[in-house]
Amino acid sequence: MPRITSIKKQKKENRANVYIDNNLSFAIDLDNLLILKLKADQELTDKQIKQIIKKSEFQKNLDKLTKFIMIRPRSEKEVRGYLHRKKVPEAIWKDLLQRLAKYDLINDEEFARWWIDSRQEFSPKPIRILINELKTKGINKEIIDKVLSQTNINEEKIAKNLLLKREPHWRSISKDKLSQKMLEYLIRKGFSFEIAKSAIKDYNTQRR
């Protein structure tokens, strides 16, 4: 029967290498090493070794996924993209996603709310652009509609602020072309014709 001949801690990782019959067999995180009570001279069946490797592989990828998510919130699509890029075995994707969901580390509704709030605070965008961004992140229409209905977004104010930021630019444009140039600019930024016209009217009124 296969026998553990030595266990050596890795230098940089919170993991250990397990040698069976003097050959490196697998690496395992220290938590599972203690939980499973693995030690030198211990005999293991082939089935036990496979189960330990699966458990270790799961924990290794869960730890990496957690670090990935802690940088900033992620949508489920982003997490799946990460799993694909890192070539994580698809056999453990479902278990990994379920574990993340259990601890509320992936939640598309909360992600959509965070995304919109962050945009409004640091880089305000019109609703049309927010919808496109969230769709790109894999958020479905029902969630997008729900979160937007709970969020107060003043598109006219956002549009007017963009015009104010570009005020030095507008001074170089003749008055007969100014409104049209502003309109084209705001529409390129994703605002509707009606919102753009209203923002321009308000801007011009304040500048008289």
Give the whole-angstrom CA distance, residue 16 versus residue 139. Answer: 39
Q: Which of 129-133, 154-158, 174-178, 188-192 has the lowest mean pLDDT?
A: 174-178
Instruction: Determine the Cα–Cα distance for residues 144 and 131; give it in Å rounded to an integer.
Output: 7
* Helix H or strand E encompassing 8: strand 4-9
Counting beta carbons within 10 angstroms of the beta carbon of residue 124, is it exposed (0 to 12), middle (13 to 18) or buried (19 or more)? Answer: middle
The kind and range of the H/E element at 50 are helix 46-71
Q: What is the mean pLDDT of residues 170-179?
A: 87
CA atoms of 137 and 120, how far apart (whole Å): 17
DSSP letter, residue 69: H
Tell me the CATH number for domain 4-102. Answer: 1.10.10.10
Assess whether pLDDT exceeds 90 at residue 8. Answer: yes
Tokens of 85: 């890029």
Q: Is the pLDDT of residue 45 over 90?
A: yes
pLDDT at 127: 96
List the domain boundaries for the chain. Answer: 4-102, 108-149, 155-206
Residue 31 predicted with pLDDT over 80: yes
Q: Which residues contact 24 (CB under 8 A, 6 or more apart)?
A: 17, 18
Token pair recorded at residue 90? 């698809």
Please list, in sequence order, all residues whose beta carbon lies within 8 angstroms of the beta carbon of residue 9, skipping any fewer than 6 positions away.
15, 16, 17, 30
Mean pLDDT of 198-202: 93
What confidence score (pLDDT) does residue 208 get? Answer: 61
pLDDT of residue 175: 83
Q: CB atoms < 10 A from the CB of 16, how many?
A: 19
Whether the per-residue pLDDT at 157 is higher than 80: the answer is yes
* Nearest CA-CA partner of 191 in 151, 160, 152, 147: 160
Nearest to 91 by CA among 79, 102, 83, 81: 83
pLDDT in tens, 104-131: 999 999 999 999 999 999 999 999 999 9
Residue with tokens 């994707």: 93
d(CA 191, CA 197): 10
- Provide the whole-model pTM: 0.82
Percent of the chain with pLDDT over 90: 81
For residues 144-170, give the mean pLDDT. Answer: 94
Provide the pairing of β-strand 23-29 with 4-9: unpaired
